């Protein structure tokens, strides 16, 4: 390691990235991606990039609130700190503001990126090394009419994807969800994997059990978050009554949730998202609990730019317990602020050996999509 790793400044960017098409899930329609980018810079000019992509119904944070929390509460804690003291810094952030996991994830990944760049090693090496040589992802299909979803799935398969993930979740019309799943299975054939993400949409165990039983003939790989996030006992009941592979997503935000899920065997898989748990370090802790309990992990996304997507991919590469990867956010963007697209080849992702997160932030694109920028520390 060379140079002074004292953090001199933090740049904060309020960004909105365009999507190729609106993203439709059970609880909303997303026309674009509101996200907050942070850049740490040391006295010697070494940089580290991070990203916070909040979701009020998942992380409990709004976009506007995240911008203000990062600007006024979290970023001022960084200047003067040694970037090597990641855990001390993150604990200091906890002492300033409770919760706000997406906001804290931005600083966690920026510290990893900065340290990797300083050492000349990729983030996956900082996390313990590779557990696999490459990653395979699926493509997400937004909620729509059955025929539209079937056509979208066919396009993804034609593009080289061997698994699709279907967004469903209408409690008042779960029969339409069953038809959506069946239509996609009929369109793609028996060899393509189908994941079903309900995003809490079926709400109650009774509706979920009936819908899952009606969908089993379509052979879904797993059913994700079929009931309300607070109802872990209901999730366990769905798993017991249907025999389906169940993944918990919105119902698991951190280690405490994971301990409870493991204790009542509420799920077979857990969707680990940096924005939910507060960053790479805490994601590793959450995964350790899951792995000890025999619960597999997926590394998922809130639909993020190159920055957070790269962080998630480094995590997935490092953890042997990660069985499935959903880092397809950059494929859904009409424009990105980084160069991660070169990592993707159909459904295969190769994470490079480049230092830090391994991406280059294209500052011209960043400026184009930035609605507000602020600097805390030197040069402010």
246 sits in the region (left: phi over 0; alpha: psi -120 to 50; else beta) called beta
Which candidate in 165, 195, 273, 276 is catalytic? 273
Helices (H) and strands (E) in the chain, counts: 14, 15
Residue 104 annotated in active site: no
Is residue 66 within 8 A of residue 102, CB to CB? The reply is yes
The single-letter DSSP state of residue 293 is T
Tokens of 237: 């009941």
Residue 276 is a catalytic residue = no
Beta-strand runs (E) in the chain:
7-25, 28-42, 47-52, 135-136, 139-141, 163-167, 193-197, 222-224, 246-248, 269-272, 296-299, 322-325, 344-345, 348-349, 370-377
Dihedrals φ, ψ of 37, to 5°? -105, 140
Question: Is-catalytic flag, 224?
Answer: yes
Would you call 273 a catalytic residue per the annotation? yes
Cα angle, residue 33 at apex, residues 157 and 127 outer, rounded to 5°: 75
Q: Which residue is catalytic, options 197, 221, 237, 326?
A: 197
Q: Which backbone phi and psi does 217 adopt, to 5 degrees?
A: -65, -25
DSSP secondary structure letters along 237-260? HHHHHH---EEESTT--SHHHHHH
Whole-angstrom distance, CA of residue 109 vs CA of residue 377? 19
CA angle (31, 37, 42) in 5-degree steps: 170
Catalytic residue, chosen from 104, 165, 167, 276, is 167
Distance of CA 112 to the CA centre of its chain: 17
Helix (H, G, I), strand (E, B) or coil at 35: strand
Q: To the nearest 10°, the Cα dihedral for 247, 252, 258, 261?
A: -60
Catalytic positions, written as ranges:
167, 197, 224, 249, 273
């Amino acid at each position: 390691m060379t140079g002074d790793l004292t953090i001199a400044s933090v740049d904060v960017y309020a960004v909105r990235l365009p999507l190729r098409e609106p993203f439709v899930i059970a609880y909303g329609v997303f026309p674009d991606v509101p996200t907050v980018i942070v850049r740490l810079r040391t006295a010697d000019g070494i940089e580290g990039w991070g990203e916070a992509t909040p979701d009020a119904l998942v992380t409990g944070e709004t976009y506007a609130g995240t911008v203000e929390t990062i600007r006024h509460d979290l970023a001022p804690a960084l200047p003067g700190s040694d970037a090597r003291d990641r855990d001390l810094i993150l604990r200091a952030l906890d002492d300033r503001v409770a919760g706000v996991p997406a906001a804290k994830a931005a600083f966690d990944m920026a510290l990893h990126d900065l340290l990797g760049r300083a050492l000349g090693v990729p983030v996956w090496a900082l996390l313990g090394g590779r557990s696999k040589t490459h990653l395979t992802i699926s493509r997400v299909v937004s909620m729509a009419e059955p025929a539209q979803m079937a056509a979208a799935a066919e396009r993804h398969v034609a593009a080289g994807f061997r698994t699709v993930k279907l967004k469903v979740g209408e409690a008042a019309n779960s029969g339409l969800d069953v038809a959506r799943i069946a239509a996609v299975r009929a369109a793609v054939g028996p060899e393509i994997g189908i994941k079903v993400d309900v995003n809490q949409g079926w709400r109650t165990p009774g509706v979920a059990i009936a819908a899952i039983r009606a969908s089993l003939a379509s052979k879904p790989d797993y059913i994700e978050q079929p009931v309300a996030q607070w109802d872990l006992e209901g999730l366990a009941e769905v798993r017991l009554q249907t025999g389906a592979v169940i993944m918990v997503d919105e119902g698991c935000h951190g280690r405490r949730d994971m301990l409870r899920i493991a204790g009542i065997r509420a799920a077979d898989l857990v969707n680990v998202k940096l924005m939910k748990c507060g960053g790479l370090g805490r994601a590793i802790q959450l995964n350790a609990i899951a792995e000890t309990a025999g619960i597999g992990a997926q590394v998922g996304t809130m639909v993020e730019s190159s920055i957070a997507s790269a962080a998630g991919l480094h995590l997935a590469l490092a953890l042997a317990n990660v069985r499935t990867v959903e880092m397809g956010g950059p494929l859904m963007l009409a424009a990105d602020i980084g160069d991660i697209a070169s990592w993707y080849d159909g459904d295969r992702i190769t994470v490079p050996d480049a230092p830090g997160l391994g991406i280059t932030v294209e500052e011209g694109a960043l400026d184009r999509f930035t609605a507000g920028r602020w600097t805390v520390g030197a040069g402010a």
